A = this chain, B = another copy of it.
Amino acid sequence: MSANGSRHQFDEATRLTFHDGIYTGNTSAAYANMVGPFGGVIGAQLLNAVLEHPKREGEPIAITINYAAPIKDGEFTIKATPVRTNRSTQHWVIDLSQDDNILATATAVTASRRETWSAPDLKPPSVPSPDQVPSLPNLPNAGLPDWVSNYDIRIIRGFPDILSDNPPENEDSETLQWIEDKPKRPLDALSLASMSDAFFPRVFIRQNKILPASTVSLTIYFHADESTFANYGAQPVLGHARALRFYNGYFDQTAEMWSQDGKLLASSTQVVYYRD
C-alpha cells in the first residue's frame, strides 16, 4: 500500500484470483506495450501464479516464459502445476489462456536454499550512481509504449536516438540503465522479473531506430531471495543488456540486474523476433 492507502499499479497489474485451481488475471492498461501487454508484467503474472499457489515450496530460482501469441486486452486464465516436488526443489509447468487458446507457456523452478560456500564470479560494471544520471524524460510523442511511464529509467549508455531523423547505426547494442518503479515500490521477485524485461529491444539500440520486435522466449535466474529483498527496499537496480547476434529474424539478449552495492540479483536471457 502506498502512503495514501492505494495499491501500487504494479500490484494491481499482477493481481490474480484463484478459484478451483485456476487463476484469473487481467491485462493492465498502465503496462500496455506497442502491441498487447508488456512482457515483463506477463512474466511477473506467470511467476505470481507459482508464488501464490497453495502447494508452492521454496523461492524462485528460474523461470522461462514463452510468448506464443498476442494477448488481447482483458481477462485471461493461468494454470500452474507443480509437476515434481523434491526435497529442496519444485518444478512447475504454467500456461496462460484466453478463450481456451494457449497464448503463453512457462516453466519455473522454486527451491529452498541452504547456506553454502558462495562467491561472485562476474564483476559488476563501473557506472555513475543513479543521482548522476538523468531520468528518461516524458516524451508523449516519441512513440514509447505506456509501460515505460511506470518506471524511472536512467540510461547511462545505449538508448535509441528517437529524436533525430536517420541517426547512424550504433557500433553495438549494449545498454546500462538504472531502473526503479515509479512511484517507488519495494523490490521483490515479481518486480525484479518485470524489470529484467524492461530494456528496449537490442535491435532498436544497434540500428538506432524503432522496428517491429517482440520477445519469443525469456529466461530469468534469481540470485536474490527473501533476505535480499527484505533489506533492499525501493533502491534502484542496475540493468546491463547486450545482444549477442542478430540473424535472419531472431536475436538474443543477455542481461544482468545488479544491486546498488554491486551484487548480482538476477541474470536473464531472451530471444527476440525482429523485422527490418
Residues of A within 8 A of B (CB): 61-62, 64, 66, 68-69, 83-84, 86, 88-89, 91, 93, 95, 101-103, 105-107, 109, 111, 113-122, 172-173, 202, 206-207, 216-217, 219, 221, 223, 225, 242-252, 254, 256, 263-264, 267, 269, 271, 273-276
Closest to A207 in B: B117
Q: How far is the CA of A251 from the CA of B223 in the complex (A)?
A: 8
CB < 8 Å neighbour of A121 from B105, B202, B223: B202
Residues of B contacting A103 in the complex (Cβ-Cβ under 8 angstroms):
84
Bound together, the chains give a CA A106 to CA B83 distance in angstroms of 12
How many identical subunits does the complex contain?
2
Q: Are A219 and B216 in contact (CB under 8 A)?
A: no
Q: How far is the CB of A172 from chain B (nearest CB, A)?
A: 6
Q: Is the CB of B121 within 8 A of A243?
A: yes
7 A-B contacts (beta carbon < 8 Å): A64-B107, A66-B109, A69-B84, A117-B207, A121-B206, A121-B242, A121-B244
* A81 → B minimal CB distance (Å): 10
Whether A61 contacts B250 by the Cβ 8 Å rule is yes
Which of A62, A101, A113, A120 counts the most chain B CB atoms within 10 A? A62
Q: Given A64-B217, A221-B252, A254-B267, does the pair A83, B95 have CB atoms closer than 8 Å?
A: yes
Q: A244–B122 contact, CB under 8 A?
A: yes
Alpha-carbon distance A86/B101, docked complex (angstroms)? 12
B residues within 8 A CB of A121?
172-173, 202, 206, 242-246, 251
Known: A121-B245, A122-B242. 20 other contacts (CB 8 A): A66-B107, A68-B84, A68-B86, A68-B89, A83-B105, A84-B102, A113-B249, A114-B249, A116-B248, A117-B246, A119-B245, A119-B246, A120-B244, A120-B245, A121-B202, A121-B242, A121-B244, A217-B219, A254-B254, A254-B267
State whether A264 and B249 are in contact (beta carbons under 8 Å apart), knowing that A86-B69, A91-B66, A91-B105 are contacts in the complex.
no
